[in-house]
Structure 1
Amino acid sequence: MSTDTTSAAPGRPDRPHRRSTPGGPGRASGPEAVVREATPADAEGIVRMRSAYVLAEPMSEEWIRRCVCELAPRLAATGDARAFVVEAPDGSLAACALGLIHAVLPAPDCPEGLAGRVQVVATRPRFRRSGYARAVLGALLERLRSEHVTLLEVQAGEETAPLYRGLGFAGSATLMRTTHREEPALVGGQATGGGPRGGGDPGRMPLEIYAGTVLKATCFACVYFTDEDDRPLQLHSVYSPAHPWQLVGGTMDPGERPWATAVRECREETALTVVGPPRLLATVYGLPGAQWPYSTLGLVFDGGRLTAAQIRSLTLDPREHDEARVLPLAGWEALMPSRDFARLTAVAGARRSGVAAYVDAWDWETE
């Protein structure tokens, strides 16, 4: 997402901003506009609204994905983006307003050195003339002012200029702009691979730019243990109600290889040291969602069968888990989300068959 300058912005108020604004006089009758503050889960909806109703030409799916990955973390509490939306009856976005905060040198008209740019104000056609645009934009401006963002700018077209003037914006004949478009370039005499530009030669994008367009994923590694009767062992999480029962394991550290992660996480979570050689039971992939903005890729290794004495001697890290439990496979189903149980079932099947499993639907929740 293009913007001028970005910086960490002040923390947001703890109380979410909510207000209801009916359509004003002269507007088509419609449902009352219930405005709420956007969350990272709204990033895709806002990006698609911008593509469809703000930009001169719609973006490709690759550019939409890139913008969603950029915007989602910026809509978090510590980010520099503020947005407000009105939902349609089907749960999609009917209208949205997005602003980006950036740092400038202090001046009398912005003593805190914070400026803002209204990046998107959009309403789906069937909801226009219902006051939705004014409602979301008014909420956005109110939030920015509450955070001492006193210098605001927007690029207004002929149709939208009256809306902005009514909210205190004034035109300026001195604002000028230029866009420096980077020409695709060869890196080391070799094509750097495809990118989000759609047509043309996709292999001439500078490496550092292409790297920003490719899929981002977090990686994890786990160890699958059973007791001597082949009943799966799992740990009860103290921090994740969405995934209450978990395999031993965790996220890879920078520079770490998957098996090293599995060994380290097992030692940290249970005080148990697993020995190789590593035996892969499953590869697990998940698409991003509301709970996490990146894809996940994980490897599950076989930790073998533990004796009753070994299970009793497990030492759990109380910051992560408060119980280690062994149950027959069927007994786990009622205690876990369906996708977690499907993953556990696939891993158990791989142990029995000797053929590694491939699980590609361990997706993050979308709501």
Structure 2
Amino acid sequence: MNSDTEPAAAAEPQDAAARPPVRAATPADAEPIVRMRSEHVLSRPLSEEWIRQCTDELAPRLTPVGDARAFVIDAPDGTMAACALGLIHPVLPAPAYPRGLAARVHVVATHPQMRRRGYARAVVSTLLDHLAGVEHVTLFELHASVEAAPLYRELGFAGSPALMRMTRLQEPAAANTTESSPTWLPPEQYAETVLKATAFACVYFTDEDGRPLQLHSVYSPAHPWQLVGGTMDKGERPWETAVRECQEETGLTVSGPPRLLATVYGLPGAEWPYSTIGMVFDGGRLTTAQIRGITLNPQEHDEARVLPLERWKALMPARDFARLSAVAEARRTGEAAYFGTWDWGNE
């Protein structure tokens, strides 16, 4: 659901099996990998000094005796189109991982102009196959975005609400301290202490009789019927995301000005480890011809359906139907809704 808004570059050559041309990274690829991480993974790009420092750290680790393994795809102009970086580290052995080796998928990035070509799947799959087959790694870990989660589930990963990421930033205060002054952290460190959330934007359509339109997902059994929309890209504003996703998922172009119907918030849970914040905009009423003319992206949805609101209840999880009902009521009354319980459930 997450792709760049700029036109895609010309397709790269593929091998006989129609797979993107993946190659193993060398120390010379350290800087491009670091820059891909800085520009397309981190919430705040690195300074040139940090890029140099990270490059100096990574380059020797990409040698055969190092603990880093990466696979990349080159763009036609010689720049890096996509990369996947894994870091191997020892752990105490257990029956499930008798070699005592684990690997963290540390960086997966695709240049925005090279997205939606299967590059992320190609480099990640090659990396995982190499780590398992050559390095004998049997324990894997990663942090995934909402956009990437379906791919990682297909590759055998599963989320766990028992996992926790914590960062210790400073020494505890002495027990006998009677007064203290505020400690101001550098922005990069402070960012690690605040709430982590993913954001999305959607468009609510109905037919001319006011019946909601939804799309059937091919990748999310937990949320089979979805509003038109998706995850925000880096640098996008919510309305820009809604317009882009609508065009990509249906072929429809929504016109402004934007009219907000609902703000949605969800707590993390078993399905996803981060909070979720979203905005739902009014797309208006579609004619029968417009609905018939919807062009779906088969990688995301396989059906567009219009039903009376009450008939959606049997086809959706309770919290999804409650969200849809709140959006429909906002359209009816003209008063924007706040739906604060669209949580990632633990069922």
| Distance in 1, Cα, partners of 2:95 & 2:246 | 48
Q: 1:230 aligns with which of 203, 210, 232?
A: 210
| Alignment check: 8 A CA contact 2:94 2:100 kept | no
| Alignment check: 8 A CA contact 1:237 1:320 kept | yes
| Distance in 2, Cα, partners of 1:202 & 1:325 | 55
With normalisation by structure 1, the TM-score equals 0.50
Amino acid at match of 1:305: R
SS of the equivalent of 1:230 reads coil
| Distance in 1, Cα, partners of 2:326 & 2:297 | 27
| Distance in 2, Cα, partners of 1:181 & 1:313 | 54
| Distance in 1, Cα, partners of 2:219 & 2:97 | 36
| Distance in 2, Cα, partners of 1:346 & 1:262 | 19
SS of the equivalent of 2:257 reads coil
Q: 1:284 aligns with which of 252, 257, 264?
A: 264
Answering whether residue 210 of structure 2 is matched by residue 210 of structure 1, we say no
| Alignment check: 8 A CA contact 1:104 1:115 kept | no
Q: In the alignment, which residue of structure 2 is the partner of 1:250?
A: 230
- The alpha-carbon deviation at position 144 of structure 1 amounts to 1.3
Q: 1:334 aligns with which of 292, 314, 324?
A: 314
Answering whether residue 107 of structure 2 is matched by residue 116 of structure 1, we say no
> After TM superposition, where is structure 1 displaced by more than 3 Å over at least 4 residues in a row?
103-107, 112-115, 137-141, 145-149, 180-184, 199-203
| Distance in 2, Cα, partners of 1:235 & 1:114 | 40
Q: 2:287 aligns with which of 307, 318, 333?
A: 307
Q: After superposition, where does 1:1-367 map in structure 2 within 5 Å?
A: 115-117=89-91, 138-139=94-95, 142-144=98-100, 201-367=181-347
SS of the equivalent of 1:255 reads coil
| Alignment check: 8 A CA contact 1:252 1:258 kept | yes
Q: 1:307-345, CA deviations, whole angstroms, 9 ceiling, x for partnerless residues?
A: 111111111111111111111100000000000000000
Q: 1:12-59, CA deviations, whole angstroms, 9 ceiling, x for partnerless residues?
A: xxxxxxxxxxxxxxxxxxxxxxxxxxxxxxxxxxxxxxxxxxxxxxxx
Amino acid at match of 2:95: A
Q: 1:50-83, CA deviations, whole angstroms, 9 ceiling, x for partnerless residues?
A: xxxxxxxxxxxxxxxxxxxxxxxxxxxxxxxxxx
| Alignment check: 8 A CA contact 2:169 2:189 kept | no
Q: 1:105–1:114: structure 2 CA closer, same or farther, 3 Å change rule?
A: farther
| Distance in 2, Cα, partners of 1:104 & 1:248 | 42
| Distance in 2, Cα, partners of 1:217 & 1:115 | 28
> Computing the radius of gyration over CA atoms, which structure comes out larger, 1 or 2?
1
**Identity within the alignment, %:** 69
| Alignment check: 8 A CA contact 2:91 2:101 kept | no
In structure 2, the gaps of 5 or more residues are 1-60, 70-86, 103-134, 138-167, 173-178
In structure 1, the gaps of 5 or more residues are 1-102, 119-136, 150-179, 185-198
- The alpha-carbon deviation at position 203 of structure 1 amounts to 4.7
- The alpha-carbon deviation at position 272 of structure 1 amounts to 0.4
Number of aligned residues: 200
Q: 1:319–1:142: structure 2 CA closer, same or farther, 3 Å change rule?
A: same
| Alignment check: 8 A CA contact 1:243 1:340 kept | yes
With normalisation by structure 2, the TM-score equals 0.52
Amino acid at match of 1:253: D
Q: 1:256-294, CA deviations, whole angstroms, 9 ceiling, x for partnerless residues?
A: 000000000000011000000000000001111122111
- The alpha-carbon deviation at position 217 of structure 1 amounts to 0.8
| Distance in 1, Cα, partners of 2:307 & 2:238 | 27
| Alignment check: 8 A CA contact 2:267 2:344 kept | yes
SS of the equivalent of 2:95 reads helix
- The alpha-carbon deviation at position 303 of structure 1 amounts to 0.3
